């Protein structure tokens, strides 16, 4: 059971091992795309079609009857698993969660790991229970972070790590005694928006983290929304007044605790460009 690109490496790992048989693939149903009659299927759906697997796309699992199986594997699925299905497999219902549980339960663990400046990330293979991400842990692995990782990079690393870990757990499932999570240490992530705007009341470090997580942070420039795509910390601040500072060649973002130089921007309805090209374009318009 999976939907997003995060689940694809796990599906491929299971398909590649003749010791395992993928009986059915459950994924979220297709949804409309654009103005026409086209529909968009999930990455898992697309990959399952390539391999001719049996695919089911219910809007809800309530009342769903599963094929007899040894294990249910759930990875970034997006639907609630009813309690009656959790007791269906002979061995266990397993989930790959991209955090070092009990830290960052919930829907956005990778993003919160980066936004909070955690020194390490990781993957937990857990037993699915009725309580969110609270099941006993079969295996957990951590990887160090150096503070430069983007969401995209870390997402892919953890997806591949989780696939390998699950593969190993399945091979030795009978011999593993899962360890209960320490409830007192649990922290929770929340669903995040797709985009964010700059907040100068926050420090420069959180701004740079948001840039790595969301891929862009919106600012107001010349009365228009402009997305900052790339920026770096600088000591060349022209003054200490908090806000957007610009001259003929550079754009600075002055925070209360530091300054960033904007390198790449994306104006509304235009492609990404260097800050210098953007400012040249604005000046040329003003000159005409």
Average pLDDT estimate for 47-71: 97
- Asked whether the predicted pLDDT for residue 288 surpasses 60, the reply is no
Percentage of the chain beyond pLDDT 90 is: 86
Q: What local confidence, expressed as pLDDT, does residue 39 receive?
A: 87
Domain with CATH 3.10.25.10 in the chain: 196-287
How far is residue 51's CA from residue 98's CA, in Å, rounded to a whole number? 26
Average pLDDT estimate for 30-42: 82
Q: What local confidence, expressed as pLDDT, does residue 283 receive?
A: 62
Q: What local confidence, expressed as pLDDT, does residue 15 receive?
A: 98
> Could you report the per-residue pLDDT of 196-255, keeping only the tens digit for each?
999 999 999 999 999 999 999 999 988 889 999 999 999 877 667 899 998 878 999 999
Domain with CATH 3.40.50.170 in the chain: 6-175
How far is residue 171's CA from residue 38's CA, in Å, rounded to a whole number? 41
> Could you report the per-residue pLDDT of 111-121, keeping only the tens digit for each?
999 999 999 99
- Asked whether the predicted pLDDT for residue 285 surpasses 60, the reply is no
> Could you report the per-residue pLDDT of 6-22, keeping only the tens digit for each?
999 999 999 999 999 99
Name the pLDDT band for 287 (thresholds 50, 70, 90): very low
Q: What local confidence, expressed as pLDDT, does residue 267 receive?
A: 94
Is-above-0.95 flag for pTM? no
- Among 81-90, 133-142, 237-246, which is the least confidently predicted range? 237-246
Average pLDDT estimate for 33-57: 91
CATH 3.40.30.10 for domain 6-175: no
The correct CATH number of 196-287 out of 3.10.25.10, 1.50.10.10, 3.40.190.10, 3.10.20.600 is 3.10.25.10
- Among 54-58, 68-72, 279-283, which is the least confidently predicted range? 279-283
> Could you report the per-residue pLDDT of 193-212, keeping only the tens digit for each?
999 999 999 999 999 999 99
Tell me, letter by letter, the H, E, C secondary structure of the chain: CECCHHHHHHHHHHHHCCCCCCCCEECCCCEECCCCCCEECCHHHHHHHHCCCCEECCCCCCCCCCCCCCEEEEECCCCCCCHHHHCCCCCEEEEEECCCCCCCECCCHHHHHHHCCCCEEEEEEEECCCCCCCCCEEEEEEEECCCCCCHHHHHHHHHHHHHHHHHHHHHCHHHCCCECCCHHHCCECCCCCCCCECCCCCCHHHHHHHHHHHCCEEEEECCEEEEEEEEEEECCCCCCCCEEEECCCCEEEEECCEEEEEEEEEECCCCCEEHHHHHHHHHHHHHC
Q: What is the dihedral of CA 84, 182, 91, 110, to 10 degrees?
A: 80
Q: What local confidence, expressed as pLDDT, does residue 241 receive?
A: 87
Q: Which of 75, 69, 72, 59 is nearest to 8 (CA)?
A: 75
Provide the mean pLDDT of the chain. Answer: 94
């Amino acid at each position: 059971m999976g939907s997003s690109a995060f689940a694809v490496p796990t599906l491929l790992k299971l398909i590649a091992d003749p010791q395992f048989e993928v009986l059915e693939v459950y994924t979220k149903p297709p949804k409309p795309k654009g103005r026409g009659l086209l529909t968009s299927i999930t990455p898992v759906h697309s990959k399952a079609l390539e391999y001719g697997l049996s695919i089911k796309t219910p809007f809800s699992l309530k009342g769903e009857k599963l094929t007899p199986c040894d294990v249910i594997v759930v990875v970034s699925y997006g639907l609630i698993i009813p309690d009656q299905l959790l007791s269906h497999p002979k061995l266990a219902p397993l989930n790959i969660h991209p955090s070092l549980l009990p830290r960052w339960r919930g829907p956005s663990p990778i993003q919160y790991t980066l936004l909070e400046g955690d020194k390490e990330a990781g993957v937990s293979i857990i037993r699915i229970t009725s309580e969110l991400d609270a099941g006993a842990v079969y295996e957990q692995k951590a990887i160090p972070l150096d503070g430069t990782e983007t969401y995209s990079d870390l997402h892919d690393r953890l997806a591949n790590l989780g696939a390998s870990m699950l593969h190993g757990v399945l091979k030795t499932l009978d011999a593993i005694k899962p360890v209960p999570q320490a409830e007192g240490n649990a922290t929770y992530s929340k669903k995040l928006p797709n985009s964010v705007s700059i907040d100068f009341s926050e420090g420069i470090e959180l701004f740079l983290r948001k840039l790595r997580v969301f891929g862009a942070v919106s600012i107001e420039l010349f009365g228009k929304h402009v997305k900052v795509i790339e920026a770096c910390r600088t000591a060349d601040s022209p003054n200490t007044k908090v806000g957007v500072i610009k001259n003929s060649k550079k754009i600075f973002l002055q925070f209360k605790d530091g300054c960033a130089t904007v390198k790449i921007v994306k104006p509304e309805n235009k492609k990404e460009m260097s800050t210098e090209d953007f400012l040249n374009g604005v000046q040329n318009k003003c000159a005409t």
